[in-house]
């Protein structure tokens, strides 16, 4: 019996040892894992931000720009015809407004009559020249006779001093002096007539002046019809019939279709790797979900930084925050020749864009995804 109990004791000991609970290893806190993950993601975002600012710069401070032409009459007059309305599309050469033609038609008629009068005046001046020339000829003939008569008097006086009286001598001498003066007077009169006449043909100064006055009157008549200088859209239109248009004062504005571009105000550190003809992708709020392409046309070299702007440099507004925002410079981006696009965009419209400065696959892919995401976000702006 004692042996059996000892065996039982031996067998029960392992059972008690096997029933003891095993100790589990300590588990790491999930907060530490989350913190490390956040730090890693933040570091990756920081690296991407620094690199993308230089290799694939992005901005939402961009606007659509274009050429604006004030429609300005070159002559003054009352508006008698209006062929356009606000936001009317026009072609180059289309008649926009017509001023009252009557004063200009009268001026043309007066200028034409002035040419006739001038021609007659020149003809009269020609007759005056001929008359003066004739008088000069008569005066020279009289001088010749007076000279020959004075020569005879002197000859007679040498041969016989008492043959002629002093009165006859004085009369002959006086006649010679008078004839000399008449010749000088006739020559001066002829010269004045020639100067007054000038050239007898089209080169005559009076005729040239009259012709220029007629050309000016005809040009003013032509300018009374105000035409579109280029293709575009009428903007800022607020006049009606009877409005007095003053020469040099705009009466409406024409937004030209000849050139449209995007001006992106890029940060200074965005420009470090940027070059002309770099490819650009952009999106317009007016066409959400669509991506358009272009390329850099030019990069600004200066902006105004104070209140005085003597040179007319572009003014770029900057945002102020906890850290000073870098200076921005205008970058001009051409738009692909897309007729459908040009028909929907509006000057001053907002643009989001990204510039690809190289062939970096990773950064370019992220930038491409970003601009496409922003294009769809235009739906909820």
Is the per-residue pLDDT at 1 higher than 50? no
Mean pLDDT, the chain, integer:
79
Is 14 inside any structural domain? no
Burial of 236 (0-12, 13-18, 19+ CB in 10 A): middle
What integer is the mean pLDDT of 41-68? 87
Mark 37-54 as b/e (b = at least 16 C-beta within 10 Å): eeeeeeeeeeeeeeebbb
User: Whole-prediction pTM value?
Assistant: 0.63
Q: CB of 230 within 8 A of CB of 258?
A: yes
What integer is the mean pLDDT of 273-278? 91
More confident residue, 199 or 272: 272
* pLDDT single digits (tens) 76-115: 999 999 999 998 899 988 999 999 999 999 999 998 888 7
How crowded is residue 297: how many other Cβ atoms within 10 Å of its Cβ?
A: 15
Q: Please, which residues have CB within 8 angstroms of residue 69's CB and are 6 or more apart in sequence?
A: 229, 230, 232, 253, 254, 255, 256
Alpha helix positions (H), 225-332 = none
The Cα–Cα gap between 266 and 65 comes to 15
Q: Which of 26-30, 257-261, 307-311 shows the lowest per-residue confidence on average (mean pLDDT)? A: 307-311
Is 23 inside any structural domain? no
What integer is the mean pLDDT of 186-192? 69
How many residues are given for the chain?
381
Do residues 91 and 144 share a domain? Answer: no
Is the per-residue pLDDT at 289 higher than 80? yes
Count of the separate structural domains present in the chain:
3
Widest distance between CA atoms in the chain: 218
The Cα–Cα gap between 254 and 236 comes to 8
Do residues 287 and 319 share a domain? Answer: yes
Q: Which of 7-16, 79-88, 143-152, 327-336 shows the lowest per-residue confidence on average (mean pLDDT)? A: 7-16
Cα 143 to Cα 139, 185, 272, 289: the distances in Å are 6, 12, 96, 105
Do residues 375 and 261 share a domain? Answer: yes
∠ Cα 218 223 227 (to 5°):
140
More confident residue, 337 or 25: 337
Do residues 136 and 155 share a domain? Answer: yes
pLDDT given for residue 149 in this prediction: 73
More confident residue, 32 or 308: 32
What integer is the mean pLDDT of 59-63? 91
Is the per-residue pLDDT at 237 higher than 80? yes
The alpha carbon of residue 321 and the mean position of all alpha carbons in its chain are separated, in whole angstroms, by 37
More confident residue, 337 or 264: 264
* pLDDT single digits (tens) 138-169: 677 677 777 777 777 676 667 666 656 666 67
User: Which H helix or E strand runs over 174?
Assistant: helix 166-197
What integer is the mean pLDDT of 347-376? 90
Q: How many H helices and E strands in the chain? A: 7, 12
More confident residue, 353 or 16: 353
More confident residue, 61 or 120: 61
Is the per-residue pLDDT at 23 higher than 60? no
Do residues 148 and 60 share a domain? Answer: no
Is 15 inside any structural domain? no
CATH code of the domain in which 348 resides: 2.40.30.170
Name the residue range of residue 83's domain: 73-98+227-245
In DSSP notation, 178-212 reads HHHHHHHHHHHHHHHHHHHH--SSTT-HHHHHHHH
Is 6 inside any structural domain? no
Is the per-residue pLDDT at 366 higher than 80? yes
Is the per-residue pLDDT at 16 higher than 50? no
Do residues 89 and 232 share a domain? Answer: yes
pLDDT given for residue 209 in this prediction: 83
Is 216 inside any structural domain? yes
More confident residue, 5 or 142: 142
What is the three-class DSSP state of 317?
A: coil
Q: Which of 124-128, 251-255, 269-273 shows the lowest per-residue confidence on average (mean pLDDT)? A: 124-128
Is 162 inside any structural domain? yes
Q: Please, which residues have CB within 8 angstroms of residue 223's CB and are 6 or more apart in sequence?
A: 73, 74, 75
Is the per-residue pLDDT at 22 higher than 80? no
Q: What Rg, from alpha-carbon coordinates, does the chain have? A: 50
Is 306 inside any structural domain? yes
Q: What is the DSSP letter of 269?
A: G
Do residues 265 and 173 share a domain? Answer: no
Give the rounded percent of residues in the chain with a pLDDT score beyond 90: 26
Do residues 184 and 211 share a domain? Answer: yes
pLDDT given for residue 57 in this prediction: 92
């Amino acid at each position: 019996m004692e042996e059996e109990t000892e065996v039982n004791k031996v067998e029960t000991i392992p059972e008690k040892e096997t029933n003891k609970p095993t100790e589990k290893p300590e588990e790491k806190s999930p907060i530490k894992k989350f913190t490390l993950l956040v730090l890693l993601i933040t570091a990756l975002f920081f690296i991407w931000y620094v690199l993308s600012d230089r290799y694939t710069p992005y901005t939402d401070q961009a606007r659509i720009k274009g050429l604006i032409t004030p429609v300005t009459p070159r002559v003054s007059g009352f508006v008698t015809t209006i062929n356009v309305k606000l936001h009317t599309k026009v072609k180059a050469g289309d008649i926009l407004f017509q001023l009252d033609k009557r004063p200009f038609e009268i001026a043309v008629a007066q200028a034409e009559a002035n040419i006739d009068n001038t021609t007659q005046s020149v003809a009269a001046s020609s007759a005056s020249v001929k008359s003066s020339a004739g008088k000069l000829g008569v005066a020279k003939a009289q001088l010749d006779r007076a000279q020959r008569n004075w020569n005879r008097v002197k000859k007679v006086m040498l041969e016989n001093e008492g043959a002629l009286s002093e009165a006859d001598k004085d009369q002959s001498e006086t006649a010679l002096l008078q004839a000399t003066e008449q010749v000088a007077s006739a020559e001066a009169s002829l010269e004045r007539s020639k100067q007054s006449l000038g050239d007898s043909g089209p080169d005559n100064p009076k005729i040239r002046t009259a012709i220029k006055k007629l050309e000016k009157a005809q040009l003013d008549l032509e300018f009374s019809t105000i035409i579109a200088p280029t293709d575009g859209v009428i903007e800022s239109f607020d006049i009606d019939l009877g409005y007095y248009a003053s020469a040099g004062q705009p009466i409406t504005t024409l937004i030209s279709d000849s050139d449209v571009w995007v001006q992106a105000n890029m940060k200074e550190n965005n420009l470090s790797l940027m070059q002309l003809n770099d490819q650009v992708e952009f999106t317009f709020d007016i066409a959400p979900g669509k991506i358009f392409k272009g390329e850099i046309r030019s990069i600004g070299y200066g902006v105004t930084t104070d209140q005085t702007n003597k040179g007319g440099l572009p003014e770029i507004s900057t945002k102020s925050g906890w850290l000073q925002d870098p200076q921005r410079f205008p970058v001009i981006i051409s738009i692909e020749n897309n007729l459908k696009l040009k028909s929907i965009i509006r000057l001053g419209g907002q643009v989001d864009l990204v510039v690809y400065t190289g062939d970096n696959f990773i950064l370019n892919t992220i930038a491409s995804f970003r601009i496409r995401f922003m294009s769809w976000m235009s739906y909820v702006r």
